[in-house]
C-alpha cells in the first residue's frame, strides 16, 4: 500500500462510480475538496456545543467539573474528524458512493452534537454514542470498499474495518456499564481507538498526502478559532443586554480578538507540510498531538465568552476562575505548538525559549489580578501572544536577511 496503483485522477468529473485506489502521495497541487469543506462545517456545530457547555460550567465557578466531560466529548469529535481526514487523503474518489457515505458520517456528527448537553448535564452519553456509531458505519463501509477495490492495500483496509468495528462494540457496551466505570472505560476504549491505525498500518502504509494533511489540520484550526470568535460574540451580546456598551466589555472583547488572531498567526508560522513530507514516520505524533491544540483553542473561546460577560457585570464568577480558564488553554496551545513541530521541522520558526517565556508569563498573569483586575489580565495575555508573534516575525526577517544570496554563495 506504499505505492498507489493509479496516477493522480482528475477531480472535476469523478463520475457515478470510480474504482477506489490509493491516491498519489506526491500528487501536485493537492488541496481540500468542496466535500471536505462541507464535512468540516458539521463539526462547527459539534465544537460549538462542547464549548458552550464548558462555558456554562465556568460561569458557575465550577470549571474543574467540566474538564472531564469536555475532554471526553471533544475526543469523540476530534477522532471522528481525524479518521475521515486521513482516509480521504489516501482514498478520496469523490464519486457518488463516496459522497453518500460521507453524508452518513455528517449525519452522525449532528447526532453527536445534539447529545453534548446531556453528556455534560448528567453523564448521559447515549446520543453521543449513537452519533459516533453512525459515523463509524460510514467509515467502516469506506474501508470495506477500499479492501474490495484496491487489492494492494486490502489487508491494511480490512484491519482498519475490523479494528474500528471491534472498538465500536466496546463503545456501545459502555452504555450498560455502571456510572463509576465511566472515566476508566472511556480511557481504555480511547486507547483502543488510537491503537487501530498503529495496528492496521503495520501491514502497509496508506498513501496520505503530507501537504493535504497539513492543510486539513490548518482548516480545522481555523474552524475552532472561528468557534472561539463566535463564543466571544455570545458573551458580548449577553454583556450588552445586561449593562450596555461599557469600557471593560469593549476592552476584553477587543483583547480576545487580538489574542485569537495572534494564536492563528503563530500556528501557521511553522511549515508543517514540508515537515510531514520529510518525516512521514512522525505523522502519528503530530496528528495525535493536535488533540490538545484543537481542544485548547476551543477552551480559549469558552473562557473568553465568560470573561466578556464577567467584565460587563452580567455574572458573578470569581475573576481567578475566568482568568485561568483563558490562561491555561493558551499556555497549553503554545507549548504544544513547540512540542509538535520540534521534531518535524529542521529549524523551528518560533524559538523554544520564546514559547517557554510566553507560556510562563500567561500563567503568571492571573496572579497579578488583585492589582490589574480581570480586564488587565485578559489584556496582558493578548499582549503576550501578540508580542510572541511580533518577535518571531522580526527574528525570522532578520535571519533571512543574513542568509547569503545565490550570487554570494
Cβ atoms within 10 Å of 74's Cβ, excluding its own: 23
Among positive and negative, which fits the CA dihedral 69, 70, 72, 77?
Answer: positive
pLDDT of res. 341: 92
Which cell numbers hold the place of 341?
A: 513541530
Distance CA 338, CA 93 (A): 35
pLDDT of res. 8: 41
List, in order, residues 6 or more apart from 128 with CB less than 8 Å away: 73, 76, 112, 115, 116, 118, 119
pLDDT of res. 311: 78
pLDDT digits (tens, 9 = 90+) for 257-276: 999 999 999 999 988 888 89
Q: Are 337 and 293 contacting, i.e. CB atoms less than 8 angstroms apart?
A: yes
What per-residue string of b and e applies to 236-253 under the rule 16 or more CB within 10 Å gives b? bebbeeeeeeeebbebbb
Residue ranges, the chain, pLDDT below 70: 1-15, 242-244, 314, 403-409
pLDDT of res. 190: 95
Distance CA 275, CA 282 (A): 9
pLDDT of res. 71: 93
pLDDT of res. 10: 42
pLDDT of res. 4: 42
Which cell numbers hold the place of 16?
A: 457515478
Query: Model's pTM, two decimal places?
Result: 0.90
Which cell numbers hold the place of 184?
A: 476508566
pLDDT of res. 264: 96
- Residue 343 is given by DSSP the state T
- CATH assignment of 210-399, given 3.40.50, 1.10.3470, 1.20.1410, 3.10.450? 1.20.1410
Q: Are 197 and 284 contacting, i.e. CB atoms less than 8 angstroms apart?
A: yes
pLDDT of res. 12: 52
Show me where the domains of the chain are located. 34-203, 210-399
Among positive and negative, which fits the CA dihedral 219, 36, 75, 53?
Answer: positive
Amino acid at each position: 500500500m506504499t505505492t498507489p496503483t493509479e496516477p493522480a485522477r482528475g477531480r472535476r468529473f469523478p463520475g457515478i462510480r470510480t474504482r477506489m485506489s490509493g491516491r498519489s502521495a506526491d500528487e501536485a497541487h493537492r488541496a481540500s475538496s468542496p466535500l471536505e469543506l462541507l464535512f468540516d462545517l458539521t463539526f462547527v456545530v459539534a465544537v460549538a456545543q462542547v464549548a458552550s457547555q464548558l462555558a456554562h460550567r465556568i460561569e458557575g465557578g465550577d470549571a474543574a467539573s467540566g474538564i472531564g466531560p469536555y475532554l471526553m466529548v471533544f475526543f469523540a469529535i476530534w477522532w471522528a474528524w481525524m479518521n475521515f481526514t486521513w482516509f480521504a487523503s489516501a482514498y478520496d474518489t469523490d464519486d457518488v458512493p463516496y459522497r453518500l457515505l460521507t453524508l452518513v458520517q455528517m449525519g452522525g456528527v449532528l447526532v453527536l452534537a445534539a447529545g453534548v448537553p446531556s453528556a455534560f448535564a448528567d453523564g448521559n452519553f447515549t446520543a453521543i454514542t449513537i452519533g459516533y456509531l453512525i459515523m463509524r458505519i460510514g467509515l467502516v463501509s469506506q474501508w470495506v470498499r477500499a479492501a474490495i477495490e484496491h487489492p494492494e492495500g486490502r489487508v491494511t483496509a480490512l484491519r482498519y474495518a475490523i479494528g474500528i468495528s471491534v472498538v465500536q462494540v466496546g463503545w456501545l457496551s459502555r452504555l450498560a456499564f455502571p456510572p463509576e466505570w465511566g472515566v476508566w472505560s472511556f480511557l481504555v476504549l480511547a486507547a483502543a481507538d488510537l491503537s487501530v491505525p498503529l495496528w492496521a498500518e503495520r501491514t502497509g502504509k496508506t498513501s496520505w498526502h503530507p501537504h493535504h494533511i497539513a492543510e486539513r489540520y490548518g482548516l480545522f484550526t481555523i474552524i475552532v478559532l472561528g468557534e472561539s470568535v463566535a463564543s466571544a460574540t455570545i458573551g458580548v451580546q449577553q454583556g450588552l443586554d445586561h449593562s450596555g456598551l461599557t469600557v471593560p466589555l469593549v476592552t476584553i472583547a477587543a483583547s480576545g480578538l487580538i489574542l485569537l488572531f495572534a494564536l492563528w498567526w503563530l500556528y501557521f508560522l511553522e511549515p508543517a507540510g514540508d515537515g510531514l513530507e520529510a518525516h512521514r514516520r512522525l505523522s502519528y505524533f503530530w496528528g495525535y498531538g493536535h488533540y490538545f491544540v484543537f481542544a485548547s483553542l476551543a477552551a480559549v473561546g469558552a473562557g473568553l465568552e465568560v470573561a466578556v460577560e464577567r467584565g460587563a457585570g452580567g455574572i458573578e464568577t470569581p475573576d481567578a476562575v475566568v482568568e485561568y480558564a483563558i490562561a491555561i488553554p493558551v499556555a497549553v496551545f503554545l507549548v504544544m505548538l513547540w512540542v509538535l513541530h520540534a521534531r518535524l521541522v529542521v529549524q523551528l520558526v518560533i524559538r523554544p525559549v520564546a514559547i517557554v517565556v510566553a507560556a510562563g508569563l500567561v500563567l503568571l498573569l492571573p496572579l497579578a489580578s488583585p492589582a490589574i483586575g480581570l480586564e488587565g489580565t485578559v489584556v496582558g495575555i493578548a499582549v503576550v501572544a501578540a508580542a510572541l508573534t511580533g518577535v518571531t516575525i522580526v527574528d525570522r526577517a532578520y535571519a533571512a536577511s543574513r542568509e547569503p544570496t545565490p550570487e554570494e554563495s
